[in-house]
Chains A and B, each alone.
Chain A
Amino acid sequence: MAKRGFDIRRQTGFTTIAMACFFMLYMPIILLVVYSFNSGSSIAIWEGFSWRWYVSAWENEQVQEATVRSLIIAVWAAGISTTVAVLAALATTRTRKFKGQSVVFAMINQPLMVPEIVTAVALLIFFAMIKVATGYTGLLYLIMAHSAFCIPFAYLPIRARLQGMDLSLEQAAADLYATPYQVFRRITLPQLWPGILAGAMLAFVISLDDVVITEFVKSAGQDTLPTYMLGQLRRVVTPEINAISTVLLAISVTLVIAFTILSKRKT
């Protein structure tokens, strides 16, 4: 004991930097939320509390349409990507190395590795070809694009859950003459459920937040909430944008906390 109270874990200045980091991460977001309640039309000078910008966002028709569109796309994208991710996870987990495995993993993870702008441009080019050929300009393009880049986010938690699962219950069920479908429905699915829910929530958040790919894929008049906001940033910004941001933030934070709790749960 050379020095009493000598903490081997301490590094000079590290705690200060860490605290500065947390402050830096949260201070802008907190200010953003605070000014969404500003009664004046400035986003830097506080004039008093009011709900006025929430009311004005709520009554703004463009915001309403963009919100509905964002939700439709996110629900479909989360549903589709989670469904196919469950199937893909069942095929690739708890199995020996198979032929083409690395190609499959590369394809599933592609949306995570390729820069978003590159995917966005590629989809713009491809969908432009289809638009010319078919004349269809509906929401399906956005739903397809979102489903694709949500797949890895849905796949990873489901796969993690599946890997931690014991095979013996399923083998026992099979020994008792359960059909493969019954085994899946009665044994695998109930155990897998938290992973599926976690994957779906992650996919939903990712789809709801996407800017770049949506900006390039959308046809005229197909703004989602984020692309609407991006367009508004070019004009004079009022706290209405803060109000919309606050609502989106609340949704994301709630889902992320729920996701964390779900994926920590052991059974």
Chain B
Amino acid sequence: MAGQATSQDQAAARRRWLLLAPALTILVFAASGPLLITLVYSFLAPGAFGGVEWEFSTDAWFNVILQRDIFEDTLGWSDAHLSIFWRSVKLSLMTTLVCLILGFPTAYFIATRPKSQRELWMLLIIIPFWTNLLIRTFAILELIRNEGTVNSVLIGLGVIDEPIQMLFTEFAIIIGMVYVYLPLMVLPIYASMERLNFSLVEAGYDLYATRFQVLRRVILPLVKPGVIAGSILVFVPSLGAYVTPRVMGGGNQLMIGNLIELQFGQGRNWPLGAALSITLLAIVMVALILYVRAAGDEDVRHG
């Protein structure tokens, strides 16, 4: 009997891996495999015209944050790279914060609608999310460019005489990223808010809490997992954003994504580009692990 059971298990396992094989083959070929090769490339020397020389080198990793002064042969911080890293983190954090300030009340608003209306409101959030990121970036670009709607209206009203230069600034990138990633904040917050038990809110009021106290002491702690999830979901793609800073920043305000692209275009330093990619990936993974930890703790506490 035991022998039969194991042979059945083996057959089931074989069947399972056969079914998984096509998907895993494609993923190895066009997702995980190339990622490993990128890791290898980051330890090679750059070729003269793009590509790599097959010799071991850690220069690319040095160059991620350091640079060698060619005249004095001393090592120093690579100010250009550090300022781009700093800008990426800063703009992503600000995007996350603005999304939170806008997204939390929106999710709350939807969660407190009658049940029959909620799906419709959520659909209104989901539709922009599934429409082309480039088109949405372009829509916001048309709005804030010098000849765009905002400036035209302000000039028409006589508020300003000259158009305000908004495009190609950090402000423009934040506006663009908030616009593009806002649904990612609303979705998880709404998901945890929908399960919120409003009798707890009522109990808070019965105990003479003010609206703000109820929000801070009752609602916020209960929907914290959703808030964390939303923040991570906005922060991670913001950090790796490429299209929005390229279109809204106009090539002046680089973020990590654009710095990576440069290494495969004009810069022609593939190993450095590979090392920068792996660095970005590592930061994202740390953020995701922190998120899983936080979500896990939350589960334990609520039992």
Contact = CB atoms under 8 A, between A and B. Distances in A.
Interface of A: 6, 8-15, 17-18, 20-22, 24-29, 31-32, 35, 42-45, 80-81, 83-85, 87-88, 90-92, 95, 98-99, 104, 107-108, 110-111, 113-129, 144-145, 147-149, 151, 155, 205, 208-209, 211-212, 216, 226, 229-230, 233, 237, 241-242, 245, 248-249, 252-253, 255-257, 260, 264
Interface stretch (B67-75, B222-230, B240-248, B293-301): B240-248
B102 A17 contact: yes
B131 A252 contact: yes
A115 B136 contact: no
B236 to A, nearest CB: 7
B106 A248 contact: no
Residue of B16, B179, B183 contacting most chain A CB atoms (<10 Å)? B16
B19 A88 contact: yes
A62 B277 CA distance: 32
Contact of B19 (A10, A28, A87, A226): A87
A205 B130 contact: yes
A125 B46 CA distance: 13
Interface string B12-34: 11011101101110111111111
Nearest to B16: A91
Nearest to B257: A117
B66 interface: no
B102 A123 contact: no
A100 to B, nearest CB: 8
B152 A44 contact: yes
B80 interface: no
Contacts of A114: 31, 35, 281, 284
A212 B105 CA distance: 32
B270 interface: yes
A120 B261 CA distance: 10
Contacts of B260: 117-118, 121
Contact of B30 (A11, A129, A145, A208): A145
By DSSP majority rule, is chain B's interface helix, strand, loop, or mixed? helix
A113 B55 CA distance: 31
B138 interface: yes
Contacts of A144: 26, 29-30
A17 B182 CA distance: 13
Given A117-B242, A122-B35, A260-B123, A209 B132 contact: yes
B142 interface: yes
A248 B103 CA distance: 26
Nearest to A143: B30
A116 B20 contact: no
A18 B130 contact: no
Q: 6 closest pairs, A vs B, by CB?
A: A115-B240, A18-B109, A148-B30, A91-B19, A122-B34, A28-B139
Nearest to A151: B23
B30 A121 contact: no
Contacts of A83: 22
A148 B31 contact: yes
Given A11-B215, A21-B182, A28-B140, A121 B264 contact: yes
Interface string B231-252: 0000011011011001100000
B257 A87 contact: no
Nearest to A259: B130
B38 A115 contact: no
Contacts of A115: 236-237, 239-240, 257, 280-281, 284
Given A18-B110, A25-B179, A44-B152, 16 more contacts: A11-B211, A13-B105, A17-B105, A18-B105, A29-B128, A44-B145, A116-B240, A117-B257, A117-B280, A125-B41, A126-B33, A211-B132, A229-B138, A233-B247, A237-B142, A248-B131
Contacts of A128: 51
Contacts of A22: 106, 124
A236 to B, nearest CB: 11
A14 B132 contact: no
A16 to B, nearest CB: 8
Nearest to B123: A260
A32 B139 contact: yes
Contacts of B23: 84-85, 87-88, 108, 151, 155
